[in-house]
Amino acid sequence: MSREQRGPNEKLGTVLALAGISNAGLARRVNDLGAQRGLTLRYDKTSVARWVSKGMVPQGAAPHLIAAAIGAKLGRPVPLHEIGLADADPAPEVGLAFPRDVGAAVKSATELYRLDLAGRRAGGGGIWQSLAGSFAVSAYATPASRWLITPADSSVERMPDTPPGEGVPDDTPTRVGHSDVAKLREAAEDARRWDSKYGGGDWRSSMVPECLRVDAAPLLLGSYSDEVGRALFGASAELTRLAGWMAFDTGQQEAAQRYYIQALRLARAAADVPLGGYVLASMSLQSIYRGFADEGVDLAQAAIERNRGLATARTMSFFRLVEARAHAKANDAVAAGAALKSAEGWLERAREGDPDPTWLGFYSYDRFCADAAECYRDLKAPRQVRRFTEQALSRPTEEFVRSHGLRLVVSAVAELESGNLDAACAAGTRAVEVAGRISSARTTEYVRDLLHRLEPYGDEPRVVELRERARPLLVAPA
C-alpha cells in the first residue's frame, strides 16, 4: 500500500543518485532488510520509480527500510526528511541525538524510553522492526567528540517552580531523593546478573527498558538538586547502557546504538568519566562486531585518553583490553600485543580495596584471558588462543554462563585451526549445550561461525553429530 504526495519526490531521487543505487537495487535492498525482520516484501524497480516520479509514499515499515538501505550504502544515518519521507513515523530519529543542553538531553533519553525492545511504542505501533539494518558507526562520531571535549556538565540541578496554592498539585514534578536513585542502582545490579546468566533475550533482562520507561523517566523529569541529579543521571546511564548491551546481545543493533548514545550523554550529566568510558568501550565492542575495527580503536582510545589519572587500574585494564580487541580485528598484531601487555600490566597493579565501580564486577583475570584468546583468534595464532582459553575456562561459573559458552566456541576454533578435530567437536558440543540454556543471538552467531569453519569436514560423523545437536538452536528465534 502507498499513498500519494504532491508531485515527484526529488529528494529521494537525488539521494539515490548520490548513493549510486539503482531503482532495482533499492527494491532488492529494501526487500532483503524486510526479510531480516520477518517481513515479506515484493517491491521492484517499478515500485521505486513510483516513489520517485509520482511521490508515492509506501506504508508501514518501508520508509524506514528505505532510509536504512540508503544509509548502509552511504555509511551514515539517513533521516526521513532527507529522502522526502518525513511524513512517516519519526521514531527512527529518536535516540540518535547528543544534545549539548541538559534539559534537551533529558528529553532525548525519555523519548527513547518510550520505545521498548519488543518493538512497540507505548500505546501503539511496531518500531524496532522498522529500524532493520539501520546501524551506522558514523552516528557515534558526534557523541564521542562532544564527550571528549566536555565530559561533564557544569550543573544538572532541576528545580521547576511550584505553582501557587495550597496542597501539592497533580502535575508537580516528582521530588527525587537518594532512595529513588538507590532503587535504580539495585535494578541495574539485578539486571547485570540476569544478563550474564541467561542472556540479553531472557524475559527478566527485557524488564530493563520497562524500568527505564516507568521508573527512570519520571525521575529524570522530576525535581532534584545538583548532587542528587548527578547520582540520578549516573544510575540512569548504567541502566541505559545495560539496555543497549542486551539489545546488542539479542542482535538488535539499531536499538543498542541508540541506547548507547543516550547512556553516554547521561554519563556526561553525571560527571562520571569512567562510566562514560565504559559506554564508549561498549560502543567499541559493537563496532568491532559489526566489522568497523578502525572506529572501534578510536572509541576505545577515547575512553582511555579521558580516563588517564581518573579511572582505577582495573578499569584502565579493561579499556586497554577493548582496544586490543579492536586492533586484533583490524589485523594489527603489533598494536594488539602492546594493548594486551598494557591491559595485563594495569590488571597486575589493581589491589583489593581499590574504589572500582560496581559495573566492573565482571572483570577478572579470567575475563582478560577470554578476550586475549579472541584477539589471537582474530590474529590466527591458535597456540596463543589455546593458552589463554585454558586459563579462561579453568574456573567455569554459573554466574557468567554466556561468557562460558563464548569461550568454549573460541576454544573449539583454536583446536580446529591446530588440526584437532575431535577436540574442536567436543568443545563445540559443550558450547551448544550452554547456548541452549540462554537467550543470546551473539552466542548463536558464534556457534554458527564454528559450524561454517567445520564445513570442509562435513562428512565426518563427529561434525554431523555436532550439526544435528546445534540445529534446534539455529532454527529457534533469537
Three-state SS for the chain is CEEECCCCCHHHHHHHHHHCCCHHHHHHHHHHHHHHCCCCCCCCHHHHHHHHHCCEEECCCHHHHHHHHHHHHHCCCCCHHHHCCCCCCCHHHCCCCCCCCHHHHHHHHHHHHCECCCCEECCEEECHHHHCCCCCHHHHHHHHHHHHHCCCCCCCCECCCCCCCCCCCCCCCCECCHHHHHHHHHHHHHHHHHHHHHCCCCCCCCHHHHHHHHHHHHHHCCEECHHHHHHHHHHHHHHHHHHHHHHHHCCCHHHHHHHHHHHHHHHHHCCCHHHHHHHHHHHHHHHHHCCCHHHHHHHHHHHHHHHCCCCCHHHHHHHHHHHHHHHHHCCCHHHHHHHHHHHHHHHHHCCCCCCCCHHHCCCCHHHHHHHHHHHHHHCCCHHHHHHHHHHHCCCCCCCCHHHHHHHHHHHHHHHHHCCCHHHHHHHHHHHHHHHCCCCCHHHHHHHHHHHHHCHHHCCCHHHHHHHHHHHHHHHCCC
Please determine, for residue 43, whether its predicted confidence score (pLDDT) is greater than 80. Answer: yes
Please determine, for residue 33, whether its predicted confidence score (pLDDT) is greater than 50. Answer: yes
Options 1.25.40, 1.10.490, 1.10.20, 1.10.510; which CATH number does 364-478 get? 1.25.40
CA separation for the pair 134, 69 (Å, rounded): 8
Say what the pLDDT of residue 174 is. Answer: 85
Average pLDDT over residues 21-28: 93
Q: Comparing 384 with 6, which gets the higher pLDDT?
A: 384
Please determine, for residue 151, whether its predicted confidence score (pLDDT) is greater than 60. Answer: yes
Q: Are strands 124-126 and 120-121 parallel, antiparallel or unpaired?
A: antiparallel
Say what the pLDDT of residue 225 is. Answer: 96
Instruction: Record the pTM.
Output: 0.80
Confidence of residue 438 (pLDDT cuts 50, 70, 90): confident
Say what the pLDDT of residue 206 is. Answer: 65
What CATH topology corresponds to 2-88? 434 Repressor (Amino-terminal Domain) (1.10.260)
Confidence of residue 452 (pLDDT cuts 50, 70, 90): very high
End-to-end CA distance of the chain: 30
All structural domains of the chain with their residue ranges: 2-88, 364-478
Cell 562520571, located at residue: 272
Average pLDDT over residues 231-241: 98
Q: What is the mean pLDDT of the chain?
A: 87
Average pLDDT over residues 140-150: 96
Confidence of residue 68 (pLDDT cuts 50, 70, 90): confident
Average pLDDT over residues 316-336: 98
* Tens of pLDDT, residues 118-128: 443 433 334 54
Please determine, for residue 2, whether its predicted confidence score (pLDDT) is greater than 60. Answer: no
Please determine, for residue 115, whether its predicted confidence score (pLDDT) is greater than 80. Answer: no
Average pLDDT over residues 305-315: 97
What residues contact 141, with CB distance under 8 A and at least 6 apart?
none
Q: Comparing 3 with 388, which gets the higher pLDDT?
A: 388
CA angle 220, 224, 225 (to 5 degrees): 135
Please determine, for residue 134, whether its predicted confidence score (pLDDT) is greater than 70. Answer: no
Confidence of residue 454 (pLDDT cuts 50, 70, 90): very high
Please determine, for residue 66, whether its predicted confidence score (pLDDT) is greater than 50. Answer: yes
Confidence of residue 204 (pLDDT cuts 50, 70, 90): low
Please determine, for residue 165, whether its predicted confidence score (pLDDT) is greater than 50. Answer: no
Which among 290, 384, 293 is positioned nearest to 337, based on CA atoms?
Answer: 384
* Tens of pLDDT, residues 180-195: 999 999 999 998 888 8
Say what the pLDDT of residue 126 is. Answer: 45
Say what the pLDDT of residue 457 is. Answer: 93
Q: Of 63-72, 132-141, 361-370, give the range with the top mean pLDDT.
A: 361-370
